[in-house]
Amino acid sequence: MIFVFKLLELLALGVVMALAFLVLIVFVMFVLDRTQTGDAIRRNYPVIGRFRHLFTSLGEFFRQYFFAMDREEMPFNRAQRDWVGNATKGAGNTVAFGSTRSLSIPGTPIFVPAAFPPLDDQFSSTNPMQIGPHAAIPYVAKSIFNISGMSYGAISRPAVEALSRGAAKAGIWLNTGEGGLSPYHLKGGCDIVYQIGTAKYGVRDHDGNLSDEKLREVGENPYVKMIELKLAQGAKPGKGGILPGEKVNAEIAQIRGIPEGKDSISPNRYPEVDNLDALLDLIGHVRDVTGRPVGIKVVLGASNAWEEFFDRIIERGEVSAPDFITVDGGEGGTGAAPMPLMDLVGMPIRDALPRMVDLRDRHGLKDRIRIIASGKLVNPSEIAWAICAGADIVTSARGFMFSLGCIQALKCNKNTCPTGITTHDPRLQRGLVVEDKYVKVANYAKSVIKEVETIAHSVGVAEPRLMRRRHVRIVQADGSSIPMNQIRPSHDAALYP
């Protein structure tokens, strides 16, 4: 009995001490809040005012998991993410009891079912497409859907390796992003598109100029199939790439040719390219040195400059043209970017893509220049829309991030990604198991391609690249829909019977 009383006394003493400690903490917080001058709420409402910051931080979490409807979230809603998640399992991705998508929202694409679609034995897979007929080593692209640029640095070692191995398994290409070619890009043995940004990481000399010697090394790599010159990207048109110094470890610094631990900031354009002729000269030079097809990645703001671009190609001859043009939407992307640029600069892909396609076709360059669409295209309906609009190939970055397990935590610009995709913290990278994720990457790609082929079949054509603008209707403000070829008719003219 005495032991019990002693134990109760100790417990009571512990509670009193805990309460005293809590009171002391509250008192310290009260004094700190009253005396600080940076936050008016905490100064006027000490201690209690701190809950505002807590609830603001937690609001993002609660909206995503408890309050937002399936189609409400931005930049990607739950329905889009769930589709990718189901696709990565390699099982069926069917739904029941009707669509949750509102079909009255202006801009919604509605595909036109054929009265008599092809029978199953009349349907074929997408034919491979040649890119770069004037390059020493043209490339035959096997897939309509591929992985867009994400550099090693912006994403982690296991993420790059899983993408490489998944791309090889699915028979698609992997774009390196502007951070150079790492050993992890080559792990899977997939086709590689080597992206050269304005800082020329991986192919620069000590002064930051383009090195022909290093370009030749890139061209001699059997896995590198094409070169992409990045003029702009959707996340930050008019500004170069940004990699925070905390992500620039020794290996990344060595691959890029920059100091370790310092912010990696690319120029907002190629310093040596200040007119159209200089751009065409650069394209031709890189193609001659590497022997590989060379294209450009752009974000449109208006058609005028690109009208002049195509005019100049015609004047110089079609040999001078880029072998492909990647059109990125201004909706933002995976990279760190100032909010005004991410939100407000550059045309969305749904406006930009048809414009670029029409400019190319109007100048008679349809068979010379391939158009690649990139920008917030992650589900089959979006890829099918892009092909209807005139894209030859579609690429996605964020779709493949979802296939790796991305939960849209919006921490890509920090080194704290909870899924290990965009962090170089070894503890967080442990969660990304390459042996599991690469299979999911491949399953996602295969599922997208299969369902785009299903849409093509339903509108009455034998394979996706035969889809035209007349095969999709666009919902208008009054709820009615209009065929895309009436809104933008040139693509469906004589070129496209």
Tens digits of residue pLDDT in 120-169: 777 777 789 999 999 999 999 999 999 999 999 888 999 999 999 999 99
Q: What is the pLDDT of residue 63?
A: 57
The answer to whether position 429 is within a domain reads yes
The answer to whether position 150 is within a domain reads yes
Query: 432 and 349, same structural domain?
Result: yes
The answer to whether position 83 is within a domain reads no
Average pLDDT value over all residues in the chain: 85
Distance, CA of 94 to CA of 180 (rounded, Å) = 39
Helix (H, G, I), strand (E, B) or coil at 216: helix
Query: 226 and 137, same structural domain?
Result: yes
The answer to whether position 331 is within a domain reads yes
The answer to whether position 34 is within a domain reads yes
Query: 135 and 26, same structural domain?
Result: no
Which of 23, 48, 67 is the last residue before a domain boundary? 67
The encoded tokens of residue 292 equal 């590989």
Query: 369 and 229, same structural domain?
Result: yes
Structural domain that includes position 258: 120-492
Query: 402 and 293, same structural domain?
Result: yes
Give the pLDDT band (50/70/90) at residue 290.
very high
Query: 256 and 132, same structural domain?
Result: yes
Q: State mean pLDDT over 6-13.
A: 71
Helix (H, G, I), strand (E, B) or coil at 123: coil
The answer to whether position 315 is within a domain reads yes
Comparing C-alpha atoms, which of 135, 306, 307 is closest to residue 231? Answer: 306
Q: 84-122, pLDDT tens digit by residue?
A: 767 778 776 666 555 667 777 888 899 999 988 888 777
Lowest mean pLDDT among 71-75, 357-361, 398-402: 71-75
Q: 230-251, pLDDT tens digit by residue?
A: 998 766 566 677 777 777 888 8
Query: 59 and 128, same structural domain?
Result: no
The answer to whether position 414 is within a domain reads yes
> What CATH number is attached to the domain comprising 448?
3.20.20.70
Residues 6+ apart with CB under 8 A from 27: none
Higher local confidence (pLDDT), 279 or 334:
279
Give the pLDDT band (50/70/90) at residue 421.
confident
Q: Is the pLDDT of residue 184 over 70?
A: yes
**What is the residue type of 268?**
N
CA atoms within 13 A on the CB side of 195: 26
Residue carrying the six token digits 């698609």? 172
- Number of domains the chain contains: 2
Q: State mean pLDDT over 7-31.
A: 81
Distance, CA of 162 to CA of 84 (rounded, Å) = 16
Query: 289 and 184, same structural domain?
Result: yes
Q: How far, in whole angstroms, is CA 162 from its chain's centroid?
A: 16
Q: State mean pLDDT over 457-473.
A: 93
Query: 175 and 272, same structural domain?
Result: yes
Distance, CA of 64 to CA of 70 (rounded, Å) = 9
The answer to whether position 91 is within a domain reads no
- 256 CB-contact burial (10 Å; exposed 0-12 / middle 13-18 / buried 19+): buried
- H or E element in which residue 274 lies: none
Q: 387-396, pLDDT tens digit by residue?
A: 999 999 999 9
Residue carrying the six token digits 């295969």? 446
Q: What is the pLDDT of residue 172?
A: 97
**What is the residue type of 140?**
V
Comparing C-alpha atoms, which of 138, 70, 132 is closest to residue 98? Answer: 70
Residues 6+ apart with CB under 8 A from 482: 473, 474, 476
Q: What is the pLDDT of residue 360?
A: 96
Q: What is the pLDDT of residue 400?
A: 92
Which of 43, 67, 91 is the last residue before a domain boundary? 67
- Whole-model pTM? 0.84
Give the pLDDT band (50/70/90) at residue 40.
confident
Query: 47 and 128, same structural domain?
Result: no
CB 217 within 8 A of CB 292: no
Which of 67, 83, 98 is the last residue before a domain boundary? 67
Query: 124 and 62, same structural domain?
Result: no
Higher local confidence (pLDDT), 256 or 471:
471
Q: 273-287, pLDDT tens digit by residue?
A: 999 999 999 999 999
Q: What is the pLDDT of residue 149?
A: 92
The pLDDT > 70 percentage for the chain reads 83
Q: Which residues pair with 472 in a beta bridge?
A: 111
Query: 125 and 58, same structural domain?
Result: no
